[in-house]
């Protein structure tokens, strides 16, 4: 356990560096913070913090900057401090988003733009996982003699569609009966739950092999094979305007990271069941491309059910308190919008 005065100095160094990206010296800390400690004492404490791995010293400067370990201490300490949920920032964010009632794609695009505009970092949002979306309506339409178009409308406002091969001897009347059966049996369930129910139905009675219900079940089984979530990203211009990305190598680094959408999807999806706001700092990221970037993310929900992830990505020298406030407020608002229901049309 670090003694209190050492914690206070570490907090001061991290806080100062977040506000201004210049290495922090002991004299600056002495003048700015009322610690009642001499500059020499603070200099010794900072040297100790460097030995402990919380700070590092650039070769060209007498001052020190936080390491990822130092940022982690700072972020963990934020949990004990007053949040900004009732701040003007949170109120402005609420005003921006609370009246949005669009389809889920438009909503998430607007959300990422808003996240970036308020934070000056990259705004990211992972669309609801198709496996976790709740089916509201199933439609079947003859596309060609041996082709069937099936559409699923979900409670989240997502429309999934697929073209399937099917028995050309099935009549339009049969399709209507199959559609009625599928809607009666499977609406209100997630696609993941429907898949489980379909397997149970197929195993329940082998006598169904040649019946219309069996054909309906088999059509449903094929229809439930959808792809992964999509990711929306906004604000590259915002983040590249930060002093942390003033050199070409850092610009290439962040550009490569966000161009790899599969990577961002994987990182966000791994946090899709997490509770509350999660902060992943630099080297804590599993992906090499993200080792000098931080993520602040939260799930958004429909009712009590987590269905997607949103957040911001920026330099490790991030205003974490502001980012946490923005992400938490946005996730709560998006949850409210989705729980109350999107406006159709």
> Would you state the pLDDT for residue 53?
97
Going by pLDDT thresholds of 50, 70 and 90, the confidence category of residue 164 is confident
User: What is the rounded radius of gyration, in angstroms, for the C-alpha atoms of the chain?
Assistant: 26
Q: How does DSSP classify residue 61?
A: -
- d(CA 338, CA 225) in angstroms, rounded, equals 24
Residue 343 reports pLDDT greater than 70: no
> Would you state the pLDDT for residue 260?
85
Asked if residue 336 and residue 236 are part of one domain, the reply reads yes
Residue 233: which of 123, 328, 92, 333 has the closest Cα?
A: 123
Averaged pLDDT, 87-95? 74
345 is a domain residue? no
Helix axes 320-340, 88-97, angle to 10 degrees: 30
Residue 80 reports pLDDT greater than 70: no
Average pLDDT, the chain: 83
9 near 27, Cβ under 8 Å? no
- d(CA 318, CA 70) in angstroms, rounded, equals 12
83 is a domain residue? no
**CATH number of the domain that 96 lies in?**
3.30.450.40
Going by pLDDT thresholds of 50, 70 and 90, the confidence category of residue 207 is very low
Asked if residue 319 and residue 292 are part of one domain, the reply reads yes
> Would you state the pLDDT for residue 344?
47
Asked if residue 271 and residue 237 are part of one domain, the reply reads yes
Where does a domain end: 223, 254, 283? 223
The whole model's pTM is what? 0.79
335 near 94, Cβ under 8 Å? no
184 is a domain residue? yes
Residue 190: which of 269, 230, 131 has the closest Cα?
A: 131
**CATH number of the domain that 32 lies in?**
1.10.10.10
Q: Model confidence over 217-264: pLDDT tens digits?
A: 777 766 666 656 789 999 988 888 899 988 888 888 888 888 888 889
Range of the domain at 145: 131-223
CB burial of residue 167 (10 Å; 0-12, 13-18, 19+): exposed
């Amino acid at each position: 356990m670090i003694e209190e005065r050492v914690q206070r100095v570490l907090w001061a160094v991290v806080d100062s560096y977040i506000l201004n990206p210049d290495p922090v010296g002991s004299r600056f800390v002495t003048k700015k913070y009322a610690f009642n400690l001499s500059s020499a004492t603070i200099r010794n404490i900072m040297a100790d913090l460097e030995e402990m791995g919380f700070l590092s010293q650039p070769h060209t400067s007498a001052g020190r900057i936080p390491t990822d370990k130092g940022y982690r201490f700072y972020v963990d300490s934020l949990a004990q401090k007053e949040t900004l949920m009732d701040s003007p920032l949170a109120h402005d964010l609420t005003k921006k988003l609370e009246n949005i009632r669009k389809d889920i794609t438009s909503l998430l695009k607007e959300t990422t733009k808003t996240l970036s505009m308020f934070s000056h970092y990259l705004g990211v949002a992972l669309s609801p996982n198709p496996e976790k979306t709740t089916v509201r309506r199933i439609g079947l339409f003859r596309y060609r003699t041996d082709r069937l178009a099936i559409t699923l409308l979900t409670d989240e406002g997502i429309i999934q569609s697929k073209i399937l091969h099917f028995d050309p001897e099935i009549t339009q009347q049969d399709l209507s009966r199959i559609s009625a059966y599928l809607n009666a049996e499977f609406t209100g369930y997630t696609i993941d739950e429907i898949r489980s129910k379909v397997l149970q139905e197929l195993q329940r009675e082998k006598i169904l092999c040649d019946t219309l219900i069996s054909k309906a079940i088999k059509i449903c089984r094929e229809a439930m094979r959808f792809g992964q979530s999509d990711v929306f990203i906004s604000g590259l211009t915002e983040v590249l305007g930060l002093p942390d990305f003033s050199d070409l190598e850092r610009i290439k680094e962040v550009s490569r990271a966000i161009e790899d959408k599969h990577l961002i999807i994987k990182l966000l999806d791994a946090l899709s069941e997490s509770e509350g706001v999660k902060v992943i700092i630099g080297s804590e990221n599993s992906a090499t491309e993200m080792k000098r970037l931080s993520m602040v993310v939260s799930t958004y929900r429909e009712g009590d059910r987590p269905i997607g992830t949103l957040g911001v990505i920026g330099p490790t020298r991030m205003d974490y308190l502001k980012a946490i406030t923005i992400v938490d407020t946005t996730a709560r608002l998006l949850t409210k919008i989705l729980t109350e229901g999107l406006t159709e049309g």
